[in-house]
């Protein structure tokens, strides 16, 4: 019987920092509005690198950190809603660039829950006993699908990438419990990159809105309703309580959402690891960027238990209880 052991986390973000004040030169907004409504101060915006470039840097860092040879990697999964292309997948571009010539590779599209879903998929591959090593990466260049004239959305998002390297293990188990869900009835709450039908036989072509559109208030209500329940689900499945958990690492969308979640769970806000002030909402990348940052700071110790919890487009949500 095999389990999945997480060996390390890494992240990579574009160099360019855009502050709230800089955004107020583009749209009718202010640092005060953005900071008080969301907790975000700045974000990284890519002017050179595409999603695959960010993901490749994470892949290389994971290989270096874990000392595992590229040809020993069996699986590469990239969670993204902003791939370079519809085909090939971002994961295939990563596979080629890092020389993981024996790995299968594919992307998954689960928006801001993507990294947790991708970890879960990798976990099942490793548990099968057929594969030994997996790279799981969340990578986004949301700046290319954001409408930079819409102040209601463009101030929220950023670009970046993070990931984890997992191996099959007979002795250790990092993934204790999970809760993955979707509510496709509400898919219209967040849309982006829409591609309408288009062929030589259509007379009246409709323009599809390519840029990201979101009903912020509905998503806020959805997140504050589902995340506390999902966190409780993974606690119940593991027979643990919040006292056993060192940190909750939420999708980094909005400080106000996290405050409501903390209140509903009756837990101190300090239990939540937050870096949204520096990166904004980087969708599938936000949780692994936070995990890599925590790891670099040395605040994740062996055997610590943490909960990661994502929510977003789909609508989808996903929580996982992890032992470091
Ligand atoms: O990763 C996917 C997950 N997505 C999320 O988690 C998003 C969840 N939703 C939210 O975080 C919040 O709903 C937002 C931050 C998006 C918006 O906050 P809100 O408190 O719900 O504001 P609102 O949309 O109700 O807008 C309030 C006012 C409006 O003006 P009026 O109609 O009251 O005059 C907006 O036009 O704020 C205005 N506004 C802005 N003003 C300055 C909206 N965006 C801005 C802006 N700067 N950037």
Using an 8 Å Cβ cutoff, are 324 and 164 in contact?
no
3-state secondary structure of 102: coil
Q: Where in the chain is the domain with CATH 3.40.47.10?
A: 3-171, 176-323
What pTM, to 2 d.p., does this model score? 0.97
Helices and strands of the chain, counted as H and E runs: 10, 13
pLDDT at residue 220, as a whole number: 97
Task: Look at residue 204 in the predicted model and tell me its pLDDT.
Answer: 81
**What residue's CA is closest to ligand 1, atom 21?**
217
pLDDT in tens, 122-132: 999 999 999 99
**Distance from residue 67's CA to the centre of ligand 1 (Å):** 45
Q: What is the pLDDT of residue 203?
A: 85
With contact defined as beta carbons under 8 Å apart, do 40 and 276 qualify?
Answer: yes
CA of 290 to the centre of ligand 1 (A): 24
Q: Which fold has domain 3-171?
A: Peroxisomal Thiolase; Chain A, domain 1 (3.40.47)
Separation between Cα atoms, residue 40 and residue 212, nearest integer Å = 19
Cis amide leading into 88 (omega within 30): yes
How much distance in Å is there from the Cα of 212 to the middle of ligand 1? 14
How many angstroms separate the alpha carbon of residue 217 from the centre of ligand 1?
7
Residue 281 a catalytic site member:
yes
For ligand 1, what atom is nearest to the CA of residue 281? 1
pLDDT at 206: 77
Q: Does 186 qualify as catalytic in the annotation?
A: no
Q: What is the pLDDT of residue 198?
A: 87
Instruction: Name the stretches of the chain with pLDDT < 50.
Output: none
Residues enclosing ligand 1, CB less than 6 A?
Answer: 29, 33-34, 37-38, 112, 151-152, 155, 190, 216-217, 219-220, 223, 253-254, 257, 281, 283, 312
Among 24, 159, 213, 216, say which to mutate for ligand 1: greatest number of ligand atoms within 8 Å of CB.
216
8 belongs to the catalytic site: no
Q: How far apart are CA 244 and CA 234, in angstroms?
A: 12
Alpha helices in the chain (DSSP H): 20-23, 31-38, 51-66, 90-98, 114-127, 151-154, 216-238, 255-265, 276-279, 286-297
CATH architecture of 176-323: 3-Layer(aba) Sandwich (3.40)
Distance CA 110, CA 190 (A): 12
């Amino acid at each position: 019987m095999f389990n999945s052991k997480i060996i390390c986390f890494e992240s990579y973000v574009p160099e360019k920092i855009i502050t709230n004040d800089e955004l107020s030169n583009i749209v009718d907004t202010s640092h005060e509005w953005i900071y008080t409504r969301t907790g975000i101060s700045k974000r990284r915006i890519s002017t050179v690198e595409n999603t695959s470039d960010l993901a490749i840097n994470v892949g290389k860092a994971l290989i270096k950190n874990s000392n595992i040879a590229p040809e020993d990697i069996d699986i590469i999964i990239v969670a993204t809603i902003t791939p370079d292309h519809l085909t090939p997948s971002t994961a295939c571009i990563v596979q080629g660039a890092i020389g993981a010539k024996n790995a299968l590779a594919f992307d998954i599209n689960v928006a801001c829950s993507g990294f947790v879903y991708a970890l879960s998929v990798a976990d099942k591959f490793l548990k099968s006993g057929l594969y030994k090593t997996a790279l799981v990466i969340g990578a986004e260049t949301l700046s290319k699908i954001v409408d930079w004239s819409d102040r209601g959305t463009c101030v929220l998002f950023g670009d970046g990438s993070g990931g984890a390297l997992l191996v099959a293990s007979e002795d250790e188990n990092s993934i204790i419990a999970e809760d993955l869900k979707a509510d496709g009835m509400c898919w219209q709450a967040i849309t982006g990159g829409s591609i309408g039908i288009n062929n030589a036989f259509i007379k009246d072509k409709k323009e599809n809105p390519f840029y990201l559109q979101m009903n912020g208030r509905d998503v806020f209500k959805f997140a504050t309703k589902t995340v506390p329940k999902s966190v409780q689900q993974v606690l119940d499945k593991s027979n643990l309580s919040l006292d056993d958990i060192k940190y909750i690492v939420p999708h980094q969308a909005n400080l106000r959402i996290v405050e409501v979640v903390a209140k509903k769970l009756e837990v101190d806000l300090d239990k939540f690891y937050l870096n949204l002030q520096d990166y904004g909402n980087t969708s599938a990348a936000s949780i692994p960027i936070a995990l890599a940052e925590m790891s670099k700071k040395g605040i994740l110790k062996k055997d610590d238990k943490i909960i990661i919890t994502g929510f977003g487009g789909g609508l989808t949500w996903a929580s996982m209880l992890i032992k470091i």
